[in-house]
Amino acid sequence: MIKTFGLSALVAGSLAFSAPAAMATEFINVLTGGTSGVYYPLGVALSDIYAKNMDDVRAQVQSTKASVENLNLLEQGRGEIGFALGDSVKDAYEGNADVGFTKPLTKLRAIAAIYPNYIQIAAASAAGATTVADLKGKSVSVGAAKSGTEVNARKILSALGMTYDDLGKVEYLPFAESVELMKNRQLDATLQSSGLGSAALKDLSSTQDVTYLSIPADVATTLGAPYAAGVIPAGTYPGQDADIPTLAITNILVTSSDVSDETAYQMTKLLFENLDTLKAAHAAAGAINIEDAVKNSPIPLHPGAERYYKEMGLL
C-alpha cells in the first residue's frame, strides 16, 4: 500500500505541475568561478533559489576557472547552468581553438544576458602606470590560464598592438591570488574581468596604494561586439576618486540543449522573479534587467527560456 500510494502521489504531482522534475529528483549544478569573484556569490544565491522553488530539485554550486571551463563542462553534460563572458560564449559556439575550444560547442543555449563585466586593471602606484601601454616591462597577472579574463587580456593587448612578450612577466592566477602577490610586492598589476565591486579588488584597494588603469574607448571599436566602452565610476573602490574609462562585456547565463524545456523555463522564470535575492548576494546583479536579457546573444535561446520571454511579451 505504501508503494502504491507513493507512485500515485508522484503521478498526480506530475499531472498537476506538468514538470518532469516532479517525477524524480533532478540535479542542477551551477557553474561559477573563483570564490573571490562575482560569479560565485551570485551562483550560490541562484542555487538556493532553485532548490527552494523547484519541486524535487537538488542544486549545488561548483567553483571553477569561470567562462571557458564552464562552457566546456556544459557541453560535456557536467553542469546545467553556468556563467560566462559573451566573447567566450561566441568563441565556444564557433570553436575558437586559440582560446580553448577545440571544436564548436553546439549544445550551448542561452538563458539570459545578465550584467556586464568590466575590465579592471589595478596597478601598484609605485609602478607608475596609468594606461595599459604603461604595463610594458611590468609583471602582470592576467587571470587563470584560458579563463574568460585571460582571453580578454590577450584580445585587449592585441588591439593595442601588444602581446604578452611586451610584459616583463606574466602570471596566470585567479583574482584573490593575484591580490596576495600584489600585497607582497611580487606583482605590479592585476587584470580582472568582473562585475563592479569585486571583493578581491576592494581588499586590495583598502590595503594598498593602487592606480586603476584606463583603456581607450576606441579599443571597443577595434574589438567589436560584445565589447563596448564602459566606465568604472569614481568611488567604486577605496581611494579611487575619478571615473576610469574601460571596456565592458556582457555576461550570459548559459545552459545546454540537453536540459529539458521545463527546467530551462523554470530557471529563467525564477531568475527574474528573485532579482532582489541576487542583488543582496552582490551589487553587480543590480544591472540585470529583463529587457536586455534577449539582446545580442551569440548563441540560440533555449526553447524553455524562449517560452518565458514570449509569456513576458519580449519575443
**pLDDT 10s digits, 197-230:** 988 999 999 999 999 999 999 999 999 888 999 9
Query: pLDDT tier at 13 (50, 70, 90 boundaries)?
Result: very low
Domain 117-249 has CATH 3.40.190.10: yes
| Whether the domain at 25-115+251-311 and the domain at 117-249 fall into the same CATH topology | yes
- Sketch the domain layout of the chain as residue ranges: 25-115+251-311, 117-249
45-94 pLDDT tens trace: 999 999 999 999 999 999 999 999 999 999 999 999 999 999 999 999 99
pLDDT at 8 over 70: no
Are 189 and 129 contacting, i.e. CB atoms less than 8 angstroms apart? yes
**Cis amide bond preceding 245, omega within 30:** no
pLDDT at 10 over 50: no
Residue 231 phi, psi dihedral angles, 5° rounding? -140, 135
Are 41 and 91 contacting, i.e. CB atoms less than 8 angstroms apart? no
Are 25 and 56 contacting, i.e. CB atoms less than 8 angstroms apart? yes
State mean pLDDT over 17-41: 78
159-195 pLDDT tens trace: 999 999 999 999 999 999 999 999 999 999 999 999 8
Burial 120-155 (b: 16+ CB within 10 A, else e): bbbbbeebebeebebbeebbbbbbbebbbbbbbbbb
Task: Express as a percent the part of the chain with pLDDT over 70.
Answer: 92
Q: What is the pLDDT of residue 6?
A: 43
Superfamily in which the 25-115+251-311 domain is placed by CATH: Periplasmic binding protein-like II (3.40.190.10)
Query: pLDDT tier at 296 (50, 70, 90 boundaries)?
Result: confident
State mean pLDDT over 260-276: 98
State mean pLDDT over 300-310: 98
Query: pLDDT tier at 99 (50, 70, 90 boundaries)?
Result: confident
State mean pLDDT over 254-278: 98
pLDDT at 158 over 60: yes
The chain-wide mean pLDDT, for the chain, equals 91
pTM of the predicted model as reported, rounded to 2 decimal places: 0.82
Residue 150, all three cell numbers: 585571460
Q: What is the pLDDT of residue 308?
A: 98
Q: What is the pLDDT of residue 24?
A: 57
pLDDT at 4 over 50: no
